[in-house]
A and B are shown apart, each in its own frame.
Chain A
Amino acid sequence: MFNKIKEKLVETLEIAEAHCDGPCGVYDPAQARIEAESVLAMTKKILDLKVPESGDAKAQAAYNNTLTRFIVIKEERAELAKHHLMVLWTDYFKPDHLAKYPDLHETFWKAAKLCSSCKQEVSLQHAQELMDAVKKVHEMFWDSKGKDVAWYTAS
């Protein structure tokens, strides 16, 4: 009886959160790099896509389908790149890192902005700048862990 009253009482209490991040502690800028590479690849593919001659309905449908797929993939991958960058920025990097990397916030802020630009535009320049920004993140990240990990790309 007493325990039931106690349980009911506890149910009425406010919540104090003592939540935590994923406990694995595993981070790697490679996730952002793969997505940024996809953005660059899709941007190139969109720019290289040949517009069919007018009057060819079948070719026009195929073109529309391919172009739409390329745009959707570019959109998705840019969003994923931004997500992975934000995770590194807000979860991995700590205030202490700022002393060693004073341009840390500027680098991530620009990289996140470039992800948005790559969604809004079909810009080879911005897609390449996103790759450069991710490379800079890669260098800061591995330096902060005291590991010498060479930059590489999958494509």
Chain B
Amino acid sequence: MDRLVVTVLFLFMENELPQATWKERILYFFGRRRGFLIEGNSMAPTLLDGDAVLIDPRATILAGDIALAKHPYKQSVKILKRIDKINTDGSFELTGDNEVESTDSRTFGPILSKDILGKVVCRLK
């Protein structure tokens, strides 16, 4: 039964991020999208290690979106997590879908809006 629930959930979450359309690929070509390769499994099962995604740097970020952000303590590192909550001061609480394994706002606190780099819009592979 658990397996069935997880499978249905997995299929549902798979649909959350569609494959890149030609339109998205053209936007990437013209620099309106940025491509990223995922390292790690803190966003499993939505995104797995080795998956590639496109980011829209101009998109409005809402709770529930998957966002790319600068790591609060290692500014050269970019992290990919889900927006769990937007605080009243405009900062963002980020959580990995794989909560058991994820290092996120529960550990390093909220992320400032200036450090949010974009929203994941589709997967490349």
Contact = CB atoms under 8 A, between A and B. Distances in A.
Contact of B35 (A13, A18, A20, A95): A13
Contacts of B47: 18
Nearest to A22: B101
A117 to B, nearest CB: 25
A16 B124 contact: no
Contacts of A91: 103, 107
B78 A16 contact: yes
Given A15-B36, A18-B38, A18-B81, A94 B106 contact: yes
Most chain B beta-carbon contacts within 10 A, residue among A14, A18, A20, A94: A18
B100 A25 contact: yes
B83 interface: no
B111 interface: no
Contacts of A12: 35
A15 B38 CA distance: 6
B114 interface: no
Interface in B71-125: 71, 77-81, 96, 98, 100-103, 106-107, 109, 124-125
Given A14-B37, A20-B98, 6 more contacts: A10-B37, A14-B36, A15-B36, A18-B47, A19-B39, A21-B102
